[in-house]
Amino acid sequence: MYNEIITAPVAAGFKPYAAGHILWLFGAFLLWTGIYALCKNADERRYRRLKICLAVFSLLMQLARALILRLRGDYGLSQLPLHLCSISVYLCFVYALYPKRLAAQFLFAFSLPGWTLALLFPGWRGYGLYDAVCVLSFLLHIVPIGFVLMQLL
């Protein structure tokens, strides 16, 4: 199974707003609702722990995606973690540990709209819907949106 995940060929991809894409968007809504339910009545300690867990999870997914692309031989200049979404994942991690107003402003003003647009118009459509890179790409945009939305509580 390990070999299948790492060396899976790029499939025909998926069509935007087809059933699979809509299911991912619905799953995102369910995850965000779950994050809201967890944070709604959480005390400060539990809230901070959840915030750090989401940030670490996002960072680990970013690293796993890069590793899978590297092992496949697909890691090139276009995959460097210098896109707005990738930089924002690192900023989420920093903000979870050291909450500063400037970082929060950046996450709300730039990252949140960027992640949302990336979910609506995914650039990873060339991968199969259940390909590891596709799954990680969806999650890399869904989880940080939940991270930013939980700051509103």
Q: DSSP code of 71?
A: H
Q: How many percent of the chain have pLDDT more than 70?
A: 87
At 33-69, the pLDDT tens digits run 999 999 988 899 999 999 999 999 999 999 998 899 8
Please tell me the predicted confidence (pLDDT) of residue 13: 78
Across 128-149, average pLDDT: 91
- If one counts every other C-beta atom within 10 angstroms of the C-beta of residue 52, the result is 14
At 78-109, the pLDDT tens digits run 666 667 788 899 999 999 999 999 999 999 99
Nearest-angstrom CA–CA distance, 81 and 79 = 6
Q: How far is residue 26 CA from its own chain's centroid? A: 15
Straight-line distance from the first to the last Cα atom of the chain, in angstroms, rounded to the nearest whole number: 41
Please tell me the predicted confidence (pLDDT) of residue 2: 47
Contact 147, 54 (CB under 8 A): yes
pLDDT reading at 15 higher than 50: yes
pTM: 0.85
86-102 burial string, b = 16+ CB within 10 Å, else e? bebbebbbebbeeeeee
Matching residue, tokens 């994942």: 89
CA distances from 126 to 9, 15, 43, 93, 133 (A): 11, 9, 43, 28, 10
